Amino acid sequence: MYAFEDINNYSYGSSERKRSRKKKLIIIGAALLAVTLIVVAGVVGALFYTNNESKKAEDSSDHNMHSVSKSVKMMCSTTDYSGVCESSISKAVNSSSPAPEDLVKAAVAVIINEAKKAFSRSELFKSKNPMIRGAIEDCKQLYMDSKEELETALEHITAYGLENLPKRSHDIRTWLSAVMSYQQTCIDGFPDGELKTKMNEAMNKARQLTSNALAIIKEASSFFSTLKLSNFNRRRLLEEEEHEEMFVDDDGYPSWVAEGDRRMLKEYQWKKPAPNVTVAKDGSGDFTTITDALNAMPKKYQGRYVIYVKAGEYEETVNVTKKMVNVTMYGDGSKKTIITGSKNFIDGTRTFQTATFVAAGSGFMAVGICFRNTAGAIKHQAVALRVQSDLSVFLYCRMEGYQDTLYAQTHRQFYRGCVISGTIDFIFGDAAAVIQNSVLVVRRPLDNQQNIVTANGRVDPHETTGFVLHNCRIIPDHRLSSNLTISSYLGRPWKQFSKTIIMESRIGSFIHPDGYTPWNGDFALKTLFYAEYNNTGPGSDVTARVPWPGFKVITRPAAMRFTVANFLQGRDWIKATGAPVRLGLYH
C-alpha cells in the first residue's frame, strides 16, 4: 500500500471535487496571507517605522543610534545567525538613520569583505603537495566567481529597489546559493587534514553571513509580495497554479518507445538554428576542435552564439567560461557527436577539475551531444560534465561515466530527454536542477562498491537548490542486472541539507527497498529533505523506505512546489529555447 494520497482524489472529471479543492486552496491561501503579514510585517515594517522615527529625531544622535540598533535587530531576527548579523550590519551601515534598502544591501555587501578574507586564507598555506596547491588555485577562482555574483546581487537591489524585490528575489537568492556552494567547494578541494580544518574555520563567518542574506532577502520579498496581493488576486493565482498541471508539452505525454527490455526516448524535432561556426574533425567546418571555436567567439556578442559540432569523437577538455554567455551547441545526435576525456581523482586531479566538459557561462544550451569520461570505475571520481551555468538547458544529450558523472554544480538547470549513466553519486552538486523525461542508467561498479544515483550538496536550509527527477526511468545496465548482489540506492546526503525529490518516475526492482543510504552514521538524517511522489515500478514501493525524519512521501499539492514552473521559474526561459517542457505534473 502506497502512503501517498490516491491520485483519483484529484480527478478533473468531478466538478464537485474541483470546487471543493479550489475552496480549500482559497482558505489555505487566505490563512497563509494572514500569517505572512503578521510575521513579516513585524520585521520589515519595523525597518520603515524605525527609519521614519529616526528621521524625526535627527538632532538626537543617541536616539538615532538606538533606532539603527533596533531596526538591525528586527531584521536579523529572521536569520539563523542573528548575533553575527547584528554586529556585521551595524558596522557596515554608515548612516545613523539608514533606509530599509540600505540595511538589505548591507546584508549582502558584508559578505564580500568576509569572503575575501576567508578565500585569501588559503594563499597562506604552504605545501609542495600538488593537490593542496591545486586546491589553492581553485579557491582563487571560486572567490572571483563569488565576488561577481555578490556584486550582481547588489546591483539588482540598487537598480530595482525593495518594492520590486519579489520579481528579483529568486535571481538574487540563486546567486547567493551559488556563493554558498563556492565556499564549500573551496573547502572540499583540500585533502582531509589540518589545512582543510583551517580552511573550514576560516570560511565559517562568510557562510553564516551568506545564510543570513538568503533569509533576509526571502522575508523581505515575501513582505512586499503580500502587500501587492488582494484576496482576489491571491485566489486568482491559486487557481492558475491549480490549472498549471494541465499544461501539455509540445510533444505531448512521455514518449517511451519499446526496444527489447529497454525504452528509448522518442526523438523530438528541435528546430536547429543556423550556426555561427561549425566544428568538424575532418576539416569540413570552420574549426577542427570545439575549444578553438569557443576561443574565436566575439567577446561582445548580442544574442545567441550557435556552434554546430558535426559527428565525431572529440578528445579534448572543453570549458565554456563565464564570459561566454548564451552559447548554443548542438551535434548530430548523442551517439554520433561525442566529447570525451579521462581525467580522474586517482591520477591526481581534483574532482572539481576532472570534468571533460565545463559549462559555466549563463544561458548555455546543448542538444544532441554526448559528454563522456572514460576513466572507469577503478579511477573513482571522474566527471563527464560540470554545469555552473545559470538558466542552462540540456536536450537529448548523454552523460556517460562511473563515479560523479554529472556535476550539477550551481544555479538553475533543466535536463530533458537525456541518458545519464554512472555508479557512485553519479548526479551530484548543489544546483537547482530538474531532470525530466530522462533515463538514468545505473552501471556496475567495482565489486566492493555500491551504487548511489544522487548525492545532493545543499549546505544551508535557505538555499533555493535541490534535485528533482521528474517522469524519469531508473534502470540497471545489463552488466549490473547480471549481478544483483550489488546494492543500489536512489540517494545519500552529501551535505547537511541535502534535498532530492523523485516524482512520477518509474523505478526498477534493482533499487534497494530502503531507497536511500547514509553518508556517514547519522549525519544529515534529520536535516535532509528526500521526497517521493506517485512513482511506479517494482522499486517504487515506499513501505520499506528508511525511517529517517527527513524522508517524506508527499501529496500532490506538495509535489507541485517541485515542478519546472515553480522550482525553476521555467515558464518563460525554458520555452524560449524551443525545448519541450512539462511545466506542471503529468497526473
Q: Which residues are catalytic?
A: 425
Classify residue 516 by its DSSP letter. B
d(CA 302, CA 325): 10
* H or E element in which residue 481 lies: helix 478-481
For residue 315 the three cell numbers come to 578528445
* CA dist., res. 401 & res. 59, Å (int): 68
Q: Nine-digit cell at 257? A: 518507445
Segment (H or E) for 377: none
- Phi/psi at 148 (nearest 5 deg)? -60, -45
Q: Copy the grid coordinates of residue 236.
A: 486568482
Let me know: does 384 contact 401? Beta carbons within 8 Å.
yes
Residues present in the chain in total: 587
Residue 249 phi/psi, 5-degree rounding, is -65, 165
Q: Are 208 and 89 contacting, i.e. CB atoms less than 8 angstroms apart?
A: no
Beta-carbon contacts of residue 343 (< 8 Å; ≥ 6 apart): 317, 349, 353, 354, 355, 356, 373, 375, 382, 383
| Residues ≥6 apart with Cβ < 8 Å to 117 | 202, 206
CA-angle at 416, arms to 410 and 419, nearest 5°:
95
CB atoms inside a 10 Å sphere around CB 457: 28
- Cα 266 to Cα 42, 263, 413, distances in angstroms: 53, 9, 22
Beta strands 499-503; 370-373: pairing state: unpaired
Residue type for position 237 = L
Identify any residues that bridge with 365 across adjacent strands, giving them in sequence order: 328, 393
- Cβ atoms of 418 and 385 within 8 Å: the answer is no
Cα–Cα distance between 82 and 67 in angstroms, integer?
17
Q: Which residues are within 8 A (CB) of 437 and not within 5 positions of it... i.e. 6 or more apart? A: 254, 255, 265, 416, 417, 470, 471, 472, 582
Give the Cα separation of 473 and 439 in Å (integer).
Answer: 5
Instruction: Give 286's contacts (C-beta < 8 A, 6+ positions apart).
Output: 277, 278, 279, 293, 296
Closest CA to 221 of 149, 173, 175, 153: 173
Q: What is the 3-state secondary structure of 550-583? A: CEEECCHHHHHCCCHHHHCCHHHHCHHHCCCCCC
Residue 477 burial (10 A CB sphere; 0-12, 13-18, 19+): middle
CA separation for the pair 226, 8 (Å, rounded): 33
Of the candidates 497, 431, 427, 432, the residue with the CA atom closest to the CA atom of residue 455:
427
Residue found under cell 524605525? 50
